[in-house]
Structure 1
Amino acid sequence: MQMAEMKIADLGGIKLHYDDVGEGPALILIHGSGPGASGRANFIRNIEALSKDFRVIVPDLPGFGQSDMKPAGTPIPGWWADKIVELLDHLDIAKAHFVGNSLGGAITLKIAMESPSRVDRMILMGPGGGTPVTSVFPTEGIKTLVSFYDGPGPSLERLKAFINQFVYDPSQITEELLAERLKAAMDPRVIAQPPMRLGPGVAFEELWRDPRMAKLPHETLIIWGREDRVMPLDTGFVLMKQIPRARLLVMPQCGHWAQWEHADEFNKTVLGFLKND
Structure 2
Amino acid sequence: MQTNPEVGDSIVAAGIRTNYHDQGKGPAVLLIHGSGPGVTAWANWRLTIPALSPHFRVVAPDMVGFGETQRPEGHRYSMQSWLAHLLGLLDALDIERAHVVGNSFGGALALALAIHAPQRVGKLVLMGSAGVSFPITEGLDAVWGYEPSIDTMRGLLDIFAFDRTRVTDELAKLRYEASIRPGYQEAFSQMFPAPRQRWVDALASPETAIRSLAHDTLIVHGRDDRVIPLDASLRLHRLIDRSQLHVFGQCGHWTQIEHAARFNRLVIDHFSEPNA
User: Are residue 173 (structure 1) and residue 171 (structure 2) matched?
Assistant: no
Match of 1:83 in 2: 85
For the residues of structure 1 that align with 2:10 and 2:256, how far apart are their CA atoms?
A: 25
Q: Unaligned stretches of 5+ in structure 2?
A: none
> In structure 2, do the counterparts of structure 1 residues 232 and 106 end up closer, same or farther at CA, with 3 Å as the change threshold?
same
> In structure 2, do the counterparts of structure 1 residues 251 and 244 end up closer, same or farther at CA, with 3 Å as the change threshold?
same
For the residues of structure 1 that align with 2:72 and 2:221, how far apart are their CA atoms?
A: 28
Residue 142 of structure 1, aligned match among 140, 164, 181 = 140
Q: What does 1:17-96 align with in structure 2 at a 5 Å threshold? A: 17-69=19-71, 74=76, 76-96=78-98
Shift of 1:4: 9.2
Shift of 1:5: 5.4
For the residues of structure 2 that align with 1:193 and 1:4, how far apart are their CA atoms?
A: 18
* Partner amino acid, structure 1, of 2:101: V
Q: Deviation per CA, 1:68-123: give whole Å up to 9, x if none.
A: 12666735333212211110000111000011000110010110111000000010
* Partner amino acid, structure 2, of 1:146: W
The question of whether the paired residues in 2 share the 8 Å contact of 1:208 and 1:239 is answered with: no
The question of whether the paired residues in 2 share the 8 Å contact of 1:72 and 1:193 is answered with: no
Shift of 1:255: 0.4
Aligned-pair Cα RMSD in Å: 2.2
> In structure 2, do the counterparts of structure 1 residues 88 and 184 end up closer, same or farther at CA, with 3 Å as the change threshold?
same
* Partner amino acid, structure 2, of 1:13: G
Name the SS of the counterpart of 1:259 in structure 2.
Answer: helix
TM-score (norm 2): 0.90
For the residues of structure 2 that align with 1:74 and 1:210, how far apart are their CA atoms?
A: 25
Name the SS of the counterpart of 1:142 in structure 2.
Answer: helix
Name the SS of the counterpart of 2:183 in structure 1.
Answer: helix
Name the SS of the counterpart of 2:89 in structure 1.
Answer: helix
* Partner amino acid, structure 2, of 1:247: Q
> In structure 2, do the counterparts of structure 1 residues 4 and 258 end up closer, same or farther at CA, with 3 Å as the change threshold?
closer
Pick which of 116-125 and 190-199 moved more. Answer: 190-199
Match of 1:213 in 2: 210
Name the SS of the counterpart of 1:63 in structure 2.
Answer: coil
Pick which of 220-229 and 74-83 moved more. Answer: 74-83
> In structure 2, do the counterparts of structure 1 residues 147 and 4 end up closer, same or farther at CA, with 3 Å as the change threshold?
closer
> In structure 2, do the counterparts of structure 1 residues 66 and 257 end up closer, same or farther at CA, with 3 Å as the change threshold?
same
Shift of 1:235: 1.1
For the residues of structure 1 that align with 2:143 and 2:168, how far apart are their CA atoms?
A: 20
> In structure 2, do the counterparts of structure 1 residues 104 and 209 end up closer, same or farther at CA, with 3 Å as the change threshold?
same
Match of 2:119 in 1: 117
* Partner amino acid, structure 2, of 1:125: M
> In structure 2, do the counterparts of structure 1 residues 14 and 244 end up closer, same or farther at CA, with 3 Å as the change threshold?
same
For the residues of structure 2 that align with 1:107 and 1:267, how far apart are their CA atoms?
A: 20
Q: What does 1:184-195 align with in structure 2 at a 5 Å threshold? A: 184-194=178-188
Name the SS of the counterpart of 1:254 in structure 2.
Answer: coil
Name the SS of the counterpart of 2:141 in structure 1.
Answer: helix
Shift of 1:16: 0.8
Q: Which runs of 4+ in 1 moved over 6 A?
A: none
Q: Unaligned stretches of 5+ in structure 1?
A: none
